[in-house]
Structure 1
Amino acid sequence: MDSSSFINALRRFLSIRGPAKQIRSDCGTNFIGACRELKMEAVQSDKEVQEYLSDKGCTWVFNPPHSSHMGGSWERMIGITRRILDSMLLKVGPSRLTHKVLITFMAEVSAIVHARPLVPVSTDPDFPLILTPATLLTQKVAVVPPPQGEFNEKDLFSRQWRQVQSLANTFWHRWRKEYLPTLQSRRKWQKEKPNLKERDIVMLTDSQVKRNDWPMGIVVKTFPGRDGKVRKVEVKTARQGSCKTFLRPVSETVLLFSPETDK
């Protein structure tokens, strides 16, 4: 999608869901271009504008480059959904799906993803309801049940509505198998480590560098969060006589030397 197409998609989203207080995304080129065309780039640098728009309108917060993991749950949901859809559509073939079949199928996929529980299911009979994203979005606790009948791969060559239900069933089975393991506790980042500080020497773990190239730089600015943890830094590097500054997550840096520890 180019910036114009994304703006139209954003307008469709806001027209259906209503106004949003905040939009969070990665640094996709279409997002950046749309943000500039919508005259929202001042939000990132002007604190007064940010506070005003937070109360009256909408702010757009970008994750630092090369840090999709900072998207947390939404990036995980997108990643799982994309993997399943890629494998399914590669097998089915895009030429077999009409536009109406595809958008109906995507609506079914959205309903499946939004029906996942957000909290552990209670065994208390006084609280039989399950809190899901769909509950928050629609203010309704009931879900749309699938049509009666059996749907399998043979229905891909049948009527359009049966094609959609066959695809939705396939996505549901794959979704359960790939989503449930993500609910297990993660073992990463269980131990506290010192924050990166200005003047620290770091090495950038850039996957695009050439062989035997070890890019190093100095931290010139840190961005601590509300909890005091630094997850984003500004690194200055020097190469071929020119200096450049990059914004990177701490997960893509390796601390080599800290002036404070050398004292």
Structure 2
Amino acid sequence: MVGEPLKSIPEPEGQGFRGTLHQRWQLISAIRRHFWRRWRDEYLVSLQRRAKWFRPSRNFKEGDIVAVFNELSPPTKWLLARVIHCHPGADGRVRVVTMKTSNGEFVRPIAKLWLLPTKKDLFSEE
């Protein structure tokens, strides 16, 4: 599921897979793609709250850590970045940020970024 070897010993299977190695590889690849698609569409979307309908979300600020969404790569290969400059709109809400990754500095809209929760965000009393 994670796309890399596990460190634990696998449990014995009750029923063996009946098919070729190629069919098994296709099945495992399909399961992994399905898992990461659901993770992206269900979990990551829950990190971006819709302020319009529910409650206001925290504005992006300098120093925030974000995950950079890329449709061409799996979520385990997405870049992490630090926001170094915010570009607010006319209403004062940040719409675009300049971020620094291991590959350099980029300007991206916040629609393609996921603000990662910090310890302060997770344990704040609301």
The two structures have a TM-score, normalised by structure 2, of 0.48
Higher-strand-fraction structure: 2
Q: Which protein has greater RCO, CA pairs closer than 8 Å, 6+ apart? A: 2
Q: Taking structure 1 as the reference length, what is the TM-score of the superposition? A: 0.24
